[in-house]
């Protein structure tokens, strides 16, 4: 039973266009959401996060939107660059430490940005 779902295994976008990666979750207790990026043969690296008290967080070309009522978040990359080609993981956690602080990851979306 997946608590964090990324329904698109892959996405292909033209350089300069917007990339939109989607993520859905089922656990209403999640209150912190993160996106990680992973290149081949490397570990995931933190990209951007958002707390459940916000609906948007922006960092340069990357913006994460959170729709709590729909239990949905999305990552927008504008403009997309070839170096953005990677696997993007959505992750969620509950409040505090202990088991609630564990990160639950989606299975990832492979983004390909074509020159």
57 binds another protein (CB under 8 A): no
Phi, psi of 3 (to 5 degrees): -90, -25
> Binding residue for another protein (CB under 8 A) from 53, 69, 70, 99?
99
Least distance to another protein from the beta carbon of 72, Å? 19
108 binds another protein (CB under 8 A): yes
Phi, psi of 60 (to 5 degrees): 65, -125
Residue 84 DSSP one-character state: G
The pair of structure tokens assigned to 65 is 């939107």
106 binds another protein (CB under 8 A): yes
Residue in this structure with the two tokens 């504008």, named with its chain if needed: 78
97 binds another protein (CB under 8 A): yes
Residue 40's beta-bridge partner residues?
Answer: none
77 binds another protein (CB under 8 A): no
Least distance to another protein from the beta carbon of 78, Å? 23
H or E element, residue 51:
strand 45-51
Rounded Cα gap, residues 64 and 74, in angstroms: 6
> Binding residue for another protein (CB under 8 A) from 22, 49, 74, 112?
49
Contacting residues toward another protein, per CB under 8 A: 32, 36, 41-46, 49, 51, 89, 92-108
């Amino acid at each position: 039973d997946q608590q964090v779902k990324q329904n698109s295994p892959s996405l292909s976008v033209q350089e300069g266009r917007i990339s939109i990666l989607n993520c859905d979750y089922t656990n209403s207790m999640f209150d912190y959401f993160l996106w990680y990026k992973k290149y081949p043969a490397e570990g995931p690296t933190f990209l951007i996060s958002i707390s459940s008290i916000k609906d948007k967080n922006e960092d340069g070309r990357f913006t994460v939107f959170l729709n709590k009522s729909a239990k949905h978040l999305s990552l927008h990359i504008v403009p997309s660059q070839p170096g953005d080609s990677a696997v993007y993981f959505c992750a969620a956690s509950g409040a505090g430490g202990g088991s609630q602080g564990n990160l639950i990851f989606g299975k990832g979306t492979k983004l390909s940005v074509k020159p």
